[in-house]
Amino acid sequence: MQYSYTPKGVCSTKYTFDIEDGIIKSVSIVGGCNGNLKGISRLLEGMKVDDVIDKLEGTTCGLKNTSCPDQIAKGLKAYQQTL
């Protein structure tokens, strides 16, 4: 299933997740720190949604109370609410 999420409070503008049976198959991110987010996307491939949320939720960036990884966790939580 493909799910798109619009992050808030970060430089990236859109996350698209491809998820099958609770496993992340791919993540596509528009905007943000291109190289870092490509790397994070690759690391998430094959991981369970719950594990990614546990690892990334609450990560901050500088003085912000959120970050791209935190917003990925929020996007995955929003996805879970659609099930």
Q: What is the pLDDT of residues 6-62, one digit of tens each?
A: 999 999 999 999 999 999 999 999 999 999 999 999 999 999 999 999 999 999 999
Residue 35: per-residue pLDDT:
94
Residue 40: per-residue pLDDT:
97
Residue 75: per-residue pLDDT:
98
Residue among 56, 43, 53 at smallest CA distance from 22: 53
Q: How far does Cα 26 stand from its chain's mean position?
A: 10
Alpha-helical (H) ranges within 1-83 are 34-44, 49-56, 68-81
Residue 56: per-residue pLDDT:
98
83: which 2 tokens?
Answer: 């099930």
Residue 58: per-residue pLDDT:
98
Specify the CATH number for 2-81; select among 3.30.450, 3.30.390, 1.10.730, 1.10.3470: 3.30.390
Show me where the domains of the chain are located: 2-81
pLDDT tens track for 71-81: 999 999 999 99
